[in-house]
Structure 1
Amino acid sequence: MLGIIVAMDTELSKEFKTNRDCFIHMSDNRKFYIYENKHQSVVLCFSGIGKVNAASATAYLIKTFNITHIINIGTVGTHIPNINIFDILLINKCYYLDVDVTSFNYELGQVPKEKPFFGLSNSLNQNLIDLFNEHGVFYKLKNLGTSDSFIDRNNYLKFKNKNFELVSCFDMELTAIAQVCSKSNVKLSGIKIVSDNLNNMKISSEQFDSALVKISSKLTEILFLILDTNILSTNKES
């Protein structure tokens, strides 16, 4: 069964509720949107912002619905000059940007006894690539970093480390989702749309606010493509 995790409901347009029939399941004060069609069953939930919220929602989603695959969709910032606002990014690897236990000989970004980074599912990514190519959706394959901070020009120097140079975008959830999926043997992909760029002279939060309506519409279109496709049909373990 496929799970979709989104941090905020504002990252999807209101059409996601009105344009598709779904069953709403309430459990543990959480609301889950369950979509059923001839192709597949999909459960969507809004995790809330930040690593703990994302990890908690992921674990609950997997346990409650016997999820085998998850796609995280949402917004990201970037520090790369040639990545533009509204660019669609498919995530290859993800790193923690705010974890440092190097004093105990762990790699930068590595939580003790966990992986130093998390590679997302090659097979699920390939199915998404096939879907994007079929529908003319232009994307870029990039690495992502996660922190519990909204990174902007005022604080990015706190995160400008080795891992920051390895990634092209950053959010507040995906690596935590990946850590839970890794422990649970759940395949994971991340689809992100750029909401702000550190090279833009406009304040990052203002960029985000200005871009959100268009981004939510684009993310909803992508969600509908996934709901209308048996995205797991050709999936191979990877």
Structure 2
Amino acid sequence: MRIGVIGAMQIEVDNLKASMSDISTKEYSGVTYVCGTIGDKEVVAAVCGIGKVFAAICAEAMILEFHVDYVINIGVGGTLCKELGVMDVAVADKVVQHDMNTTPLGDPVGLLSGINEVYLPTDEKMCRLLGSCLAEKGIHYHVGTIATGDLFVSTPEQKTKIHERFDAIACEMEGGSIGHVCYVNKVPFAILRSISDGEGASMDYATFAEKAALQSILVVIDFIQRADELQA
């Protein structure tokens, strides 16, 4: 079994690398892929960069060059719902690209032309296993739609629009395109986001980034160690 982990921050991959054995690296399209093992599982980890194009480049190479069986994307996101605050976690049961819009052609907003889907489902077993790993660590999480776009969503108006249009619980800039690549390649995927903002809460970003990265990697390591459950 080979599991691909796509992170948003170098600290995430560095933390994962510390738990890996038999490490080697390869580079494709400017992205460094760290290969190794955790227990009896092969792992390929990479930092994709910001935005949908970089994320898609990373996911496509991970699938075609390293032949991963599963892809997990971790990172930071903004909350779109009252259930999620700072350091809580959003787990996607489906993803949507909120900035896809060919409505002048008569299409519904968010439609991915060519595959004719608005929402792409994550893998149910991966989603459940991530939830179990989060629950065991006492981390508050919520499952729902995660919305992706090439836009840093920062205003209440933008958040409300995306939430109401897609019933999304969180927004970010990579997961939907990684899901798109996995969908067309028929590779199961999961998306996890640590929330970086919330009502009445604030944290120094450097402190938040370090804590969020450590939290995500601990969950991912548990997930990898229990990954045989995906094939049960």
TM-score range, shorter chain: 0.7 to 0.9
Deviation of residue 196 (structure 1)? 1.4
Going from structure 1 to structure 2, the CA distance change for 1:4 and 1:220 (only over 3 Å counts) comes to: same
Matches within 5 A, 1:212-223: 212-223=209-220
Matches within 5 A, 1:4-153: 4-10=5-11, 12=12, 14-28=14-28, 29-114=30-115, 115-153=117-155
Deviation of residue 135 (structure 1)? 4.8
CA contact 1:22–1:33 (8 Å) conserved in 2: no
Which residue identity does 1:80 align to in structure 2? C
CA contact 1:95–1:109 (8 Å) conserved in 2: yes
Deviation of residue 75 (structure 1)? 0.8
Going from structure 1 to structure 2, the CA distance change for 1:25 and 1:219 (only over 3 Å counts) comes to: same
Which residue identity does 1:3 align to in structure 2? G
Q: How far apart, in 1, do the equivalents of 2:147 and 2:48 lie?
A: 18
Q: How far apart, in 2, do the equivalents of 1:131 and 1:161 lie?
A: 28
Which residue identity does 1:21 align to in structure 2? S
- Which ranges of structure 2 fall in alignment gaps of 5 or more residues? none
Which residue identity does 2:152 align to in structure 1? F
Deviation of residue 213 (structure 1)? 2.1
Q: How far apart, in 2, do the equivalents of 1:129 and 1:187 lie?
A: 16
Matches within 5 A, 1:150-169: 150-153=152-155, 156=158, 160-161=161-162, 164-169=165-170
Query: Could you say which residue in structure 1 is the equivalent of 2:4?
Result: 3
| TM-score normalised by structure 1 residue count | 0.85
CA contact 1:87–1:139 (8 Å) conserved in 2: yes
Deviation of residue 137 (structure 1)? 4.3
Going from structure 1 to structure 2, the CA distance change for 1:182 and 1:162 (only over 3 Å counts) comes to: same
CA contact 2:90–2:169 (8 Å) conserved in 1: no
- Which ranges of structure 1 fall in alignment gaps of 5 or more residues? none
Deviation of residue 20 (structure 1)? 3.5
Q: Deviations over 1:88-114 (max 9, x none)?
A: 221111111111101112211112223
- Secondary structure of 1:160's match? helix
CA contact 1:39–1:230 (8 Å) conserved in 2: no
Q: Deviations over 1:18-67 (max 9, x none)?
A: 34335132233432122224431111111111000000100000001111
Which residue identity does 2:104 align to in structure 1? S
Which residue identity does 2:209 align to in structure 1? L
Deviation of residue 226 (structure 1)? 3.0
Aligned length: 229
| TM-score normalised by structure 2 residue count | 0.87
Matches within 5 A, 1:173-188: 173-188=174-189
CA contact 1:145–1:163 (8 Å) conserved in 2: no
Which residue identity does 1:16 align to in structure 2? L
Going from structure 1 to structure 2, the CA distance change for 1:187 and 1:165 (only over 3 Å counts) comes to: closer
CA contact 1:5–1:46 (8 Å) conserved in 2: yes
The sequence identity of aligned pairs, in percent, is 19
